Amino acid sequence: MTEMAHQPMEKVVNFVTVEAKVLSKAMKIATAIVEPRNTIPILSAVRLNYDRKGLVIEATDLDMTARIEVDEIDGDGTWSICLIARDLAAIAAAAGTAPLRIETISDPDAKPTAVLSAGEATYNVQAYSPSDFPEIDGQRMQRVEKFTNGQLAAMFKKVAFCISTEETRYYLNGINWAAKPDGKRFAATDGHRLALCRYSANENEATFSYIIPRKTVSIVSQFMDGADIEIFSVGKGNTIVDTLLELKGPGVALRTKLIDGTYPDIDRVIPNKENHRLNVRRDEMLTAIRQATAIGAWRGAAIRLRGISGRMRVETKNPDFGTADVCTSAAWPEGAPECGVNSRYLTEMVRNCQGDIRFGMADAGAPLTLSDDDKDMTRLLMPMRV
């Protein structure tokens, strides 16, 4: 019997053509997820998947994976390829409004390659095998919650400024999404300040507590603003994975690992009563803080709020340059104790309020509460020694 001569497999060219501006928009999400500097080359890439359903771009940083649908003009074949995220984004941005064609050559005897062309420009770019692209395993399971009309992104923005950036208490590096007997809410704290947003009664008596990482919060706030978003649990087999959630919006599915830890019992620090209340205009408060911290290229953080002659004063003391005293038009409640706070924290909290603000004080050692017309919000600022 004669042995058949080896016949090399024929090369197959697949392609997809998209509007460059549409691809550029999708790549903004992808590059916000992909870590730009990575010792593992595949983690600097996105995976392009094309079949009869259309083009999908996947991006990951190992803690979060996004699947982004991209409308195509035309295409052919069923294929996948990995391209460097920053290069693909730059090519799409440079192409402007022109159509962008991506060709892949399927050759088992050669490394993956891709040719991109837009107008008079042609690029031969480095590619990687799609089989090397990491995935967060699991299947989408039942829906946990649905948020409409940008509600989720809006609530994230209300509390995200209080997320901690310190790694020592890693469980504070995100937003706590919880269902309690008294309702459902989002909360963030760094141990010095707290923002809590209640959004719904807990009619189905659900009980859960998830910690959504800071980066996931940022992606949703920036790129899914105004969108309807459904949140699903993720399972492996018939078992729900407690440390994974999937957020599904129009054209984007975001699967994220959660922070594995126990969020502190923030209800214990929320005052049950306010013995003194102080009404102040938002812009006036911001101006007073700015003026009080102007002395001597202010490097400190502490300011003092106290009443003199029935008016609120904002004061600072710098041992090298002297003191500053700013009088406001706000009436100081009789008998209210003076209060020392972090000026930067107070400024940020005031900026996140709308219109007139009400300060609440229980006693000298209790947190300062800030409220405005948003009845769903609770804001606390811990006092500091001045």
DSSP states of 71-104: -EEEEES-EEEEEEHHHHHHHHHHHTTSEEEEEE
pLDDT higher than threshold 70 for residue 37 = yes
Q: Which tokens is 90 given?
A: 């730059």
The amino acid at 346: L
Distances (CA, A) of 54 to 16, 48, 105, 127, 193: 9, 10, 18, 20, 46
Query: Residue 113: what pLDDT?
Result: 86
Number of neighbouring beta carbons within 10 Å of residue 142:
8
pLDDT digits (tens, 9 = 90+) for 123-146: 999 899 999 999 999 999 999 999
Is residue 35 within 8 A of residue 85, CB to CB? The reply is no
CATH number belonging to domain 142-268: 3.10.150.10
Which residue has tokens 């916000």? 32
Whether 3 shows a pLDDT value over 60: the answer reads no
Q: What's the mean pLDDT in 266-295?
A: 93
Distance CA 255, CA 141 (A): 12
Kindly tell me if the per-residue pLDDT of 114 is higher than 90.
yes
pLDDT confidence tier of residue 300, bands split at 50, 70 and 90? low
Average the pLDDT over 65-88 and give the result: 96
Q: Which CATH class is domain 12-132?
A: alpha beta
- Neighbouring C-beta atoms of residue 47, cutoff 10 Å: 26
- 315-373 residue pLDDT tens: 998 777 788 999 999 999 999 999 999 999 999 999 999 888 999 998 888 999 999 99
CATH 3.10.150.10 residue ranges of the chain are 12-132, 142-268, 270-381
Position 110 pLDDT exceeds 80: no
Whether residue 5 has pLDDT greater than 50: no
Q: Determine the 3-state secondary structure of 280 from DSSP.
A: strand
* Phi-psi group of 89: left, alpha or beta (phi > 0 → left; psi -120 to 50 → alpha; rest → beta): alpha
CATH of domain 270-381: 3.10.150.10
Strands (E), 148-228: 174-180, 183-189, 193-200, 208-213
Which residues contact residue 158 at a Cβ distance below 8 angstroms, ignoring those fewer than 6 apart?
Answer: 186, 195, 197, 352, 374, 377
Neighbours of 162 (CB within 10 A): 25
Q: Has residue 296 got a pLDDT over 70?
A: no
What is residue 11's predicted lDDT score, i.e. its pLDDT?
65
Q: pLDDT confidence of 4, banded at 50, 70, 90?
A: very low
Average pLDDT over residues 81-92: 96
Q: What are the tokens at 368?
A: 């300062």
pLDDT tens per residue, range 9-22: 566 679 999 999 99
Residues 6+ apart with CB under 8 A from 108: 9
Q: How confident is the model at residue 7, as a pLDDT?
A: 52
* CB 380, CB 342: distance < 8 Å: no
> What's the pLDDT band for 8 if we cut at 50, 70, 90?
low
The mean-pLDDT minimum among 28-32, 192-196, 271-275 falls in: 271-275
Phi, psi of 284 (to 5 degrees): -65, -40
pLDDT value at position 2?
Answer: 45
What type of residue sits at position 229? I
pLDDT of residue 298: 56
Of 96-100, 247-251, 265-269, 363-367, the poorest mean pLDDT is in 363-367
- What average pLDDT does this structure show over 100-123? 88
pLDDT on residue 112:
82
Strand (E) or helix (H) holding 269:
none
At 1 the pLDDT is 43
